């Protein structure tokens, strides 16, 4: 089962820029015979057959995979992982990249991760868990400031408030339905660390960093990410090693010991404090748009890499990445992140790509008469490589000038701080 077939049919779950970047690399492999993506988007349709499928329904995904004789499944977003889709595929004997439902708890429950850290001396902010907002009320009312109030479960990046006053903390608490985690506030620059693991072997990916705030100079509300660049010098090799030794490896070991080994991409959000790197949170998938710059730099056959991860043979393959830098600029629909205006027409992508960039699509679709229109919050990821970040940046922004779209906006400073 672990011998890599010459020719595979592959299914990717998801439909954002991250999945477009993954599909793009998979499609380039000579081993990729057939590539399907559910639900995909208008850009993914250039690399893969986009199919309708209930991607958070384990039984539906297993049935689809059997019907279409799929050899390998790669899961992009967290929702299918948290729903147990990887477990169902594994039980059916289908090689899959992505953690089990039990291992996806690392993202699905902040309380689970905090308890795991406490048990294994993994550095993270001091915390307390509460069953609900009412139970946490007194604790938040008197907590030293700033106080961090979090919804325990998945909240699409909107479940965290760093409150400067106890009143603000209480207001955030009132918005939370369900379990709550209250934390001490950590100080320092943030950095991300990405690894790929088959459960045993761990491959560390190059550094990458996103820009979370909506507007230039890190102003405005948090978003899913308005752009990203790689490499990022913030996580020095020494700090990266500390984060691996004190945070990532102990976590993976603990997950193995619990009988729920983690397999797939693990994304550690870190705070680089005066006392060394501390864990803010885990995501059980690649970041979006960080995946776009990592895929841009990938210099190893993606099918071979995903197959090795899915079959426990990652020890046999060391992923390579180019020495290039990469930058991706997110173009978002007007109104994002609140109420994006969809349906606006986008033109000029061929002229932009002719400059040598790759445009990954997030929320796009084709109308019946073949026009490309915005269909979501984040819409396009204009992704460029260069000898260094400033060269990649210049190319990405030159390409953006070729895109004719009146319904969108983007940051002008992506990669500037790199």
**Token reading at 105:** 């708890």
What are the φ and ψ backbone dihedral angles of 240, each rounded to 5 degrees? Answer: -60, -45
CB atoms within 10 A of CB 349: 21
User: Judged by CB under 6 A, does residue 269 bind ligand AMP?
Assistant: yes
Report the residue number, 194 or 307, with the smaller CB distance to ligand GLY. Answer: 194
Which of positions 360-379 make contact with ligand GLY (CB under 6 A)? none
Question: Residue ranges of the alpha helices (H) in 213-299?
Answer: 237-243, 249-257, 290-297
Report the residue number, 25 or 211, with the smaller CB distance to ligand AMP. Answer: 211
Report the residue number, 113 or 383, with the smaller CB distance to ligand AMP. Answer: 113
Minimal distance in Å, beta carbon 166 to ligand GLY?
A: 28
Between strands 213-215 and 408-409, the pairing is unpaired
Tell me which of ligand GLY, ligand AMP, none is bound by residue 5, counting a contact when its beta carbon lies within the kind-specific cut-off of 5 to 8 angstroms: none
| Region of 10-18, 167-175, 182-190, 305-313 interacting with ligand AMP (CB under 6 A) | 182-190
Residue selected from 107, 290, 301, 324 as contacting ligand GLY according to rule CB under 6 A? 290
Spatial strand order of the sheet with 372-374 comes to 364-366, 372-374, 345-347, 404-405
Residue selected from 183, 210, 301, 324 as contacting ligand GLY according to rule CB under 6 A? 210
Question: Residue ranges of the alpha helices (H) in 129-236?
Answer: 133-142, 166-174
**String of contacts with ligand GLY for each residue 268-287, x by CB under 6 A:** ---------------x---x
Secondary structure (3-state) at 194: strand
Whole-angstrom Cα Rg for the chain: 21
User: Judged by CB under 6 A, does residue 15 bind ligand GLY?
Assistant: no
CA angle 213, 287, 29 (to 5 degrees): 135
Tell me which of ligand AMP, ligand GLY, none is bound by residue 280, counting a contact when its beta carbon lies within the kind-specific cut-off of 5 to 8 angstroms: ligand AMP
| Region of 155-163, 253-261, 309-317, 340-348 interacting with ligand AMP (CB under 6 A) | 155-163
Burial class (CB in 10 A: 0-12, 13-18, 19+), 369: exposed
Rounded Cα gap, residues 407 and 377, in angstroms:
11
Write down how long the chain is.
418
Residue selected from 53, 148, 272, 399 as contacting ligand AMP according to rule CB under 6 A? 148
Residue selected from 88, 122, 125, 163 as contacting ligand AMP according to rule CB under 6 A? 125
User: Judged by CB under 6 A, does residue 225 bind ligand GLY?
Assistant: yes
User: Judged by CB under 6 A, does residue 81 bind ligand AMP?
Assistant: no
Our CA dihedral for 145, 151, 152, 155, rounded to 10 degrees, sits at: -130
**DSSP conformation letters of 363-382:** SEEE-TTS-EEE-SSEEEEE
User: Judged by CB under 6 A, does residue 44 bind ligand AMP?
Assistant: no
Report the residue number, 71 or 290, with the smaller CB distance to ligand GLY. Answer: 290
Minimal distance in Å, beta carbon 288 to ligand GLY?
A: 4
Binding site for ligand AMP (CB under 6 A): 125, 148, 157, 160, 162, 183, 185-186, 190, 269, 280-281
Binding site for ligand GLY (CB under 6 A): 210, 224-225, 283, 287-288, 290
């Amino acid at each position: 089962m672990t011998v890599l077939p010459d020719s595979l049919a592959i299914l990717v779950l998801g439909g954002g820029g991250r999945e477009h970047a993954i599909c793009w690399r998979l499609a380039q492999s000579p081993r990729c015979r057939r590539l399907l993506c559910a639900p995909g988007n208008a850009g993914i349709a250039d690399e893969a057959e986009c199919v309708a499928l209930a991607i958070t329904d384990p039984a539906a995904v297993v049935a689809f995979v059997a019907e279409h004789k799929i050899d390998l499944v790669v899961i992009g977003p967290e929702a299918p992982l948290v729903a147990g889709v990887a477990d169902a595929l594994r039980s059916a004997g289908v090689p899959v990249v992505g953690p089990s439902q039990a291992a996806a708890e690392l993202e699905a429950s902040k309380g689970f991760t905090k308890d795991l850290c406490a048990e294994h001396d993994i550095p993270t902010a001091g915390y307390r868990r509460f069953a609900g907002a009412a139970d946490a009320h007194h604790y938040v009312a008197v907590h030293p400031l700033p106080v961090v109030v979090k919804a325990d479960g998945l909240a699409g990046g909107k479940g965290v408030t760093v409150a400067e006053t106890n009143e603000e903390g209480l207001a955030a608490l009132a918005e939370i339905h369900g379990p709550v985690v209250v934390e001490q506030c950590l100080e320092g620059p943030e950095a991300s660390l990405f690894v790929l693991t088959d459960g045993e072997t761990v491959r560390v990916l190059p550094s990458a960093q996103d820009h979370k705030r909506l507007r230039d100079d890190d102003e405005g509300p948090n978003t899913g990410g308005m752009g990203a660049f790689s490499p990022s010098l913030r996580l020095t090799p020494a700090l990266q090693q500390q984060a691996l030794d004190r945070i990532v490896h102990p976590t993976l070991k603990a997950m193995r010991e619990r009988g729920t080994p983690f397999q797939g991409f693990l994304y550690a959000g870190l705070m680089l404090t005066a006392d060394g790197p501390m864990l803010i949170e885990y995501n059980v998938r690649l970041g979006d748009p960080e995946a776009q710059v990592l895929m841009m730099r990938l210099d190893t056959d993606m099918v071979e890499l995903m197959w090795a991860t899915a079959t426990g043979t990652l020890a046999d393959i060391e992923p390579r990445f180019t020495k290039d830098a990469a930058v991706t600029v997110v173009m978002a629909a007007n109104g994002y992140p609140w109420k994006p205006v969809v349906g606006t027409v986008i033109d000029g992508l061929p002229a932009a790509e002719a400059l040598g960039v790759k445009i990954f699509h997030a929320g796009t679709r084709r109308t019946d008469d073949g026009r490309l229109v915005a269909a979501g919050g984040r819409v396009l990821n204009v992704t460029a490589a260069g000898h260094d970040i400033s060269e990649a940046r210049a190319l990405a922004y030159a390409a953006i000038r070729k895109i004719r779209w009146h319904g969108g906006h983007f940051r002008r400073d992506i990669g500037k701080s790199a």
